[in-house]
Amino acid sequence: MDASVLTAAAFGDHPGCWPLPTAHTPEQLWHRAVAAAGQGRYSSARADLAVLRRREPAGAFLALSLSTEASLLRQLGGHRSAAGWDGRALALAQTCGDHPLSVQAHADAVVGLAADALGVGRLAASARLLQRAGELTHGSGVPRLAIRLEWVRAELAMAGGRGEEAVTHARRGIEIAEQASPALRRHRVKSDVVLAAALCCAGALEPARAVADAALRDTEAYGLVPLRWALACLLIDIGSASLTSQQVSAIRDDCAGLITRRGGRWSPG
């Protein structure tokens, strides 16, 4: 079963709920770390991942935990540091054999490396990794993987100034998330974040504002603090149709403070 579906079953897929249920197994620890990360509770997520690694010295869940650590770093700008974790995850995933989660572990690491390369301006390397990730995820039947792939494809298109292509990928991510609803609620909201940015790249500022304003309300409803911060940063640049610039700036600053208090470590790259 897709990890996001399992997370929804374990935690109600409501990132605003805290504290999250107790976790004992490596699987539960990973799901709880993912749920905590969606709320910006970085200290909690890292603690669960550390416990998982002590209990699970090898295998698919260890690889997934390494990819999740990379994601935590990448969310706050640490693409170079994240690449080391993703590289270790990939090396480990390649040893997982026929484990049911081996494809997810392998694909997560490759998509992560593509995002890492993109974040430091290595666009050609990112494109090659995305092609490899597409081969891995094709026919996997795991919506989470397909959505992540569309996010990074959209971001790569934006980096190359291909706004319309970016919008296509972002809309595809939304479509997949909607088909999996409600299990992929955070993925659905993040797909809107990616779409808003893609619309900006395509020069469609009014639609971008509408998408970003709606997504901002969703991040408040579901407690998705990192995505709320990202949307506020975007809306400061393009303007909100429903909030003043002072209100948007206050949201950004409040989220940044909350992320820091929850253990977020900002990085310049």
How many residues belong to the chain? 269
Check residue 7 and give its pLDDT: 44
Query: For residue 43, is it left (φ>0), alpha (ψ between -120 and 50) or beta?
Result: alpha
Output the pTM of the full model.
0.91
What is the architecture, at CATH level 2, of domain 3-261?
Alpha Horseshoe (1.25)
Q: Encode burial over 202-241: b for 16+ CB neighbours within 10 A, e otherwise.
A: bebeeebbbbbbebbebbeebbbbbbbbbbbebbeebebe
Give the pLDDT confidence of 149-204 residue by residue, as tens digits.
999 999 999 999 999 999 999 999 999 999 988 888 999 999 999 999 999 999 99
Check residue 124 and give its pLDDT: 98
Cα–Cα distance, 133 to 114 (Å, whole number): 9
Q: What is the DSSP string of 72-122?
A: HHHHTT-HHHHHHHHHHHHHHHTT-TT-TTHHHHHHHHHHHHHHHHHHTT-
Q: Encode burial over 39-53: b for 16+ CB neighbours within 10 A, e otherwise.
A: bbbbebbbbbbebbb
Check residue 11 and give its pLDDT: 38
Check residue 97 and give its pLDDT: 84
3-state secondary structure of 267: coil
Mean pLDDT by 10 residues, the chain (269 residues): 39 52 89 95 96 92 97 95 97 89 95 98 98 92 94 98 98 95 90 98 98 98 97 98 97 97 86
Q: Could you write out the three-class secondary structure of 156-176? A: HHHHCCCHHHHHHHHHHHHHH
Cα 54 to Cα 3, 51, 68, 120, distances in angstroms: 21, 5, 15, 31
Residues 6+ apart with CB under 8 A from 121: 159
Asked if 133 and 104 touch (Cβ cutoff 8 Å), the reply is no
How much of the chain, in percent, has pLDDT values that exceed 90?
83
Asked if 4 and 143 touch (Cβ cutoff 8 Å), the reply is yes
Check residue 19 and give its pLDDT: 67
